[in-house]
A and B are shown apart, each in its own frame.
Chain A
Amino acid sequence: AQSVSQHNHHVILSEAASLELGCNYSYGGTVNLFWYVQYPGQHLQLLLKYFSGDPLVKGIKGFEAEFIKSKFSFNLRKPSVQWSDTAEYFCAVSPFTGGGNKLTFGTGTQLKVEL
């Protein structure tokens, strides 16, 4: 079974600061990787995903993530955060084949961006 670790539970940044949220996973095979965001009072939305190919993935709203296979990591980055990026961010993985496309989520990182 796969597992996902997000080491930063709460992050507070000032506007324009750079962001990096850590995500590490544990699984014996190839995985699909996702970052989801949940804005206050809203449902989970897909930020970006990695299935194969270029390990640097660009998503919506200026976010990107880099898959480093040797480190089992898929960290989320944004060069300059905005107040509107305040939200909870979830990293998730699913087996590349088999496993029924079941997602395993990390515990989430609550990001607060201050003006």
Chain B
Amino acid sequence: GAVVSQHPSRVICKSGTSVKIECRSLDFQATTMFWYRQFPKQSLMLMATSNEGSKATYEQGVEKDKFLINHASLTLSTLTVTSAHPEDSSFYICSAREGEVSTDTQYFGPGTRLTVL
């Protein structure tokens, strides 16, 4: 149980285009999903917290107009990188939490490798 999928696994796009990444919880309902970014040889950095049916909460320094997050259902959250630039190239990872209690565990997706040319 507790499987989280991401699509696509890899995407290459031209500078200036927008890219949408999907995160799905396959066997549970995720009240909260998180989006992380991982740079090479570095740790995961939390970008935003996404709650179903409400606006995402962004971490300091993350541009909400550039990284659009939608959590329209209890099993799907999307991250759209708008007007992508080469510096947005990175590994984007989502996670999902099943319940409301702070002791619940996050389950991670396999990540999406974004390359902006």
Chain B residues engaging chain A, CB cutoff 8 angstroms: 4, 32, 34, 42-46, 49, 57, 93, 95, 97, 102-111
Contact = CB atoms under 8 A, between A and B. Distances in A.
A84 interface: no
Given A46-B107, A101-B97, A90 B102 contact: no
How extensive is the interface on chain A, given as a class? 20 to 34
B36 to A, nearest CB: 8
Nearest to B32: A101
A101 B106 contact: yes
A98 B110 CA distance: 27
Interface in A46-73: 46, 49, 51
A43 B34 contact: no
11 contacts: A32-B102, A32-B103, A49-B105, A95-B102, A99-B102, A101-B102, A101-B106, A103-B95, A105-B44, A107-B43, A108-B42
Interface in A6-25: none
B6 to A, nearest CB: 8
Contact of A100 (B44, B57, B107): B57
